[in-house]
Amino acid sequence: MYKNNIFYKIIKKKIYSDIVYKDKFFTAFRDINPKAPIHILIVTNFFIKNINNILPIHENILGKIFIVAKKIAIKEKIHKRGYRLIINCNKDSGQEINYFHMHLLGGKFLGSII
């Protein structure tokens, strides 16, 4: 049940997190186990398990996640040097929490992943 999911609890403020952005569709907060100096998770305020569960009705809303990421990158002052956006899907990709989310990483040279 998604209401027991840690991201849902953060969105509903049942669990404290360092929230850096919130609007009608998205909540963004600092990762408690950061992989870079800036590591922020951007989650939907409505439950989607992962990319495989996206429906056509989500298309316009999910397109806005990139605008949110850009706003946060500017606020965190990493927009000029660069940042990485990651969305994982299922276990083999590294998705640890079954709730659609995007990682925003920056604040240092991240190198190539390919």
Active site residue ranges: 101
Task: Give CA separation, 91 vs 12, 48, 68, 69, 75, in Å.
Answer: 26, 16, 26, 24, 31
Say how far apart CA 87 and CA 104 lie, in whole Å.
Answer: 9
**DSSP for residue 77:** T
